Structure 1
Amino acid sequence: MEGLSVPRRRRTVFRTVFRTLCSAASAVAVLGAAASCSTDTGGGSAGTPSAPTAAATATSAGPVTVELNQFRDNYSNQIIEIQLTNTTVAPLTVLGAELSTPLFAAPIAWPATAGGIVLPPGQTKSLPAPLSAPECNSTGASRGVPGDETGGTTRTTGSAQVTLRLAPPAAAATDPATGPTTAEDPFGVLARNNAEMCLTREAAAVAAFALAPDLEVAADGRTAVVRLLVTPAAAKAGGTGGAGAGELVIDRIDETTLLAESPVAPWPRAVTVRAGGAVAELRLGIRPARCDPHAVAEDKVGTLLPLRITVAGREGVLKIAAGDKLRGQIYDFVTTACGRQ
């Protein structure tokens, strides 16, 4: 701007800044409009007006992005989280969310409450969704991988798609629906749960596993014994499944965040269980795995006993939950034993 007087130069700079701000405001207006309307997905011809919908194209840049997760206290409940993020500048009300994936036989739905849930602009909310039955023969299903720290699962997730129902604007007569939107699964939640649930199904065909409800505490209170009860299933008459059919192997039993193996009563390894066999009891000597003040207060999975097993060509972790009575006794034991150290 050489040659311009100071007043004129200031006016030129002001006009440039003004145009920039106007362009930004227009972009925001367009984004807000995109949150409330999109291409018709009901089969109408191109250009035909329809009830407003939200991001029918459902790309990752749409008004709502989707990611999957699972909270630790829901591991044993087989509940995952459908996490929705509102990327628009206006609140959106979600009335329903349904996840479809070849890893599970039926859609996985969030049991919505009346009125749905409001997603404020730029915020994320987690919707708990109970898993359906696993699809164990799907090409998208995963099998255990020895040594995998996630419990013996691959990261294969197949295609996970989420369909949402959003509350309509005041002038609309029907609920708009998105989708399907591709759900990101960065932690392999679907593959891990599929592998664990399929492993549980195969194991149940061989035997039932449970923890006895009473804890046997040593006289000095420093160690205790947990009893793992194994009840084999009835053998199938005329079974011709070949070697290994109708049996599983407990390769080892892992320690938990709360319980460790007692050196005076080592845990068994390489235990073979066969359908039609006798009921067995495995005695597991335990000691506290940690004694910090948060060990019991913040426990989520410390009373889930992880059995590393091999069954029907699968390898993975079978988690045996302590009942309410045993869980309380374990917490009392850990608290007392830590106090005596």
Structure 2
Amino acid sequence: MRISARPRPRVGVFALAGALALTGCAVSPESPEPAPTLPAGVAVEFQQLRSDVAGRQAQVHLQNGGDAPLTVGEVRVEDARFDGPAVRVIAGRVSTVAPGGTVDIRVHLPPVDCSAPDDGEADVVLELTGDSASAEVTASAPDPLGFVAALHARECLLERVTDAASLAFTGFEPSAPGAPAALELTVSPTGDGAVKIEGIGRTNLIDFAGATSEEVHALDVEVAEGDSAPVVVQIPIVPFRCDPHAVQEDKRGTVFDLAVERQGESGSVELFVGEEMRGKILTWVAAWCGFGG
């Protein structure tokens, strides 16, 4: 693990050594302050769970394999692929981790910075507090699932797509059981470029009426440079599954992947229906499947 440190110039910082089980010796006042580091056995990772995606959040996973409790105040993740640090969702919260314990500290993800390459590294800055002092410790935060690189690539592609046209789900019309509902996608050209919306992928909750084994439902919406009129597409949808926990435990059922092509570059971008429409869709799935209230 790569470790660097940026201590705060606060009185009593030496007391932190004992409180946080950091090693150190008594020194004279003229000696330079020791650089605080993570206690031995403490490890951090940066990760994103399915439940974090719609809210644009992630988690700093901290494991305390040391011999003393660890108290963490301010948390921020610094990564050149973001336009600013990711900070605690609940500002001012303090987390105490017992020896052998773990904690997942949720953070808000800022917008991506598309001037940075997809490959990069994240550092986490932790404010470690003791009885009478605190210090900032900076440590590398591995991303074992590679979610930051994928998110950066996807959102930077979306940025290039929206230079030519904005994309939004603008309506939902529920249906009776057995019949398809209508999900409305609006493509609004800017006039500044060409783009093609090739298709939309099924989710773990939503499928498309008349779907085959293909995972992507064709849309074939083409926008030419100079176009200005919005294109509205009605997408016929049906539930992909009808077990109640699919709705009760839904995390990404209304986050759709759109297959796009822009300036010869093909890929997929994510588009969320929004919280209000998500609620309507979940209610419709429950009624359509026969387990609604």
- Judged with a 3 Å threshold, the aligned counterparts in structure 2 of structure 1 residues 137 and 222 are, in CA distance, closer, same or farther, namely same
Contact 2:172-2:182 within 8 A present in 1 as well: no
- Is 1:229 aligned to residue 207 of structure 2? no
Aligned counterpart, 2:14? none
For 2:31, the equivalent position in structure 1 comes to: 48
May I ask how many residue pairs the two structures share in their alignment? 269
Structure 1: 5+ residue runs without aligned partners? Answer: 1-31, 143-155, 237-245
Higher Rg: 1
1:115–1:74 distance in 2 versus 1, CA, 3 Å = closer
Could you report, residue by residue, the CA deviation over 1:149-194 in whole angstroms, capped at 9, with x for unpaired residues? xxxxxxx4x2222221111344xxx422222x11111001211221
Q: Which residue is equivalent to 2:83?
A: 105
Matched, 1:176 2:138: no
Asked if 1:268 corresponds to 2:215, the answer is no
1:164 aligned residue:
126
Is contact 2:174–2:281 with CA below 8 Å preserved after alignment?
no
Distance 1:287 1:268 in 2: 16
Distance (Å, rounded) in 1 between the aligned partners of 2:92 and 2:19: 26
1:83–1:126 CA contact under 8 A, matched in 2: yes
Secondary structure of the 2:149 match is helix
Match of 2:147 in 1: 189
1:283/1:115 CA distance change after superposition, 3 Å: closer
For the residue of structure 1 that corresponds to 2:187, the secondary structure is strand
**Unpaired runs of 5+ in structure 2?**
1-16
Aligned residue in 1 for 2:258: 307
Query: For residues 14-50 of structure 1, what are the alpha-carbon distances to aligned partners after superposition, in whole Å with 9 as ceiling and x for unaligned?
Result: xxxxxxxxxxxxxxxxxx969433579xxx99x9363
For residues 121 and 107 of structure 2, the distance between their equivalents in structure 1, rounded to whole angstroms, comes to 18
Tell me whether 1:250 sits opposite 2:197 in the alignment: yes
Contact map agreement 1:207 1:274 (CA 8 A) in 2: no
Select which of 161, 167, 171 maps to 1:203: 161
Note the 1:90-169 alignment, pairs <5 A. Answer: 90-110=68-88, 113-114=91-92, 116-138=94-116, 141-142=117-118, 156=119, 158-169=120-131
Higher helix share: 1
Which structure shows the bigger proportion of residues in strand conformation? Answer: 2
Q: Which runs of 4+ in 1 moved over 6 A?
A: none
Normalising by structure 2, report the TM-score: 0.79
Partner of residue 37 from structure 1, selected from 9, 22, 26: 22
Alignment equivalent of 2:269, drawn from 310, 318, 327:
318
- By how many angstroms is 1:206 displaced? 1.5
Matches of 1:33 and 1:315, distance apart in 2: 55
